[in-house]
Structure 1
Amino acid sequence: MYEINFSFEHGAGVFLWCSNPDDEQRWGGNPVDPATLPISADLRAELTRLGEWYNTSLNWAYPPDPGPWRQQECDRFNTAATTALDRLRTELCAEWEVIRNFADQYEDADLDRYLADPAGFQRRPSPPPTATTTP
């Protein structure tokens, strides 16, 4: 059985990699080029489209600042990414274990503050953890 990890990486888009060095060698190294996998041209095109879409989630001017996606866009992307994962699992069949290595996307809680003043925006520091005591 082959094992492949499915994730997204800014700049690379869809990122597929084998955990097992033998699988990595068999499929041409990491990251794995979807063109080498026994999947449909339609699914390859969908993976490319998803990767390009994912790249729009980052604030490329200054990546630590909030990205531009509102929750509705995050939800659409999450649905499309999960659908592509399911299709990849189906098309690769039982010979493959396809591992989901991506988190769902969520609107950044600071997006409105950022949009109100992008030049002056600063992230608020996280509050320190509160100490808990047991009676």
Structure 2
Amino acid sequence: MSVYILRFFFDPGSGICLWAANDAARDKWDYPIDTRDLPLPENTWRFAYHLCSWFDTSIDWTYPPDPSPWDAAERDRFNNAAQQFLETLRGQLGTDFDVVDESATSAAA
């Protein structure tokens, strides 16, 4: 059984893509989780910041309810990168962590 359960999703403008989903994770990291605080290589946590910044470009910040400025190809590139990151993240965190994908970036989403 995993000790820490994390939710993976993007929240525009937050710079965060991991959120505590159980008491053990909240007690250790609070609700939003800075990837630098996890037992991850620097390149992994830096890529998390890159993904969050990239996701922010999917929003029309002059009027956020408007459609995304991304075309289908950009959305697919982002979704593929997010899923590859999630796979890497799960592998590097190991069995003490369960990372639940709520990102809507998978092909099934």
TM-score (norm 2): 0.89
User: Paired residue for 2:12?
Assistant: 10
Q: Gaps spanning 5+ residues in structure 1: where?
A: 106-135
Q: Separation in 2 of the partners of 1:67 and 1:24?
A: 32
The one-letter amino acid paired with 1:51 is C
Q: Separation in 2 of the partners of 1:94 and 1:66?
A: 39
8 Å CA contact retained: 2:16, 2:33? no
SS at match of 1:13: coil
8 Å CA contact retained: 1:7, 1:100? yes
The one-letter amino acid paired with 1:19 is A
Query: Is 1:50 matched with 2:51?
Result: yes
Q: CA deviation at 1:2?
A: 1.2
User: Paired residue for 1:40?
Assistant: 41
SS at match of 1:14: coil
TM-score (norm 1): 0.73
RMSD: 1.3
Greater Rg, structure 1 or structure 2?
1
8 Å CA contact retained: 2:16, 2:34? no
The one-letter amino acid paired with 1:43 is T
Q: Gaps spanning 5+ residues in structure 2: where?
A: none
8 Å CA contact retained: 2:60, 2:66? yes
User: Paired residue for 1:101?
Assistant: 102
Q: Separation in 1 of the partners of 2:70 and 2:96?
A: 36
Identity in percent: 37
Question: What's the CA shift string for 1:32-54, capped at 9, x where partnerless?
Answer: 11111001100011000000000
User: Paired residue for 1:113?
Assistant: none
8 Å CA contact retained: 1:78, 1:104? yes
Q: Separation in 2 of the partners of 1:23 and 1:63?
A: 31
8 Å CA contact retained: 1:6, 1:14? no
8 Å CA contact retained: 1:13, 1:52? yes
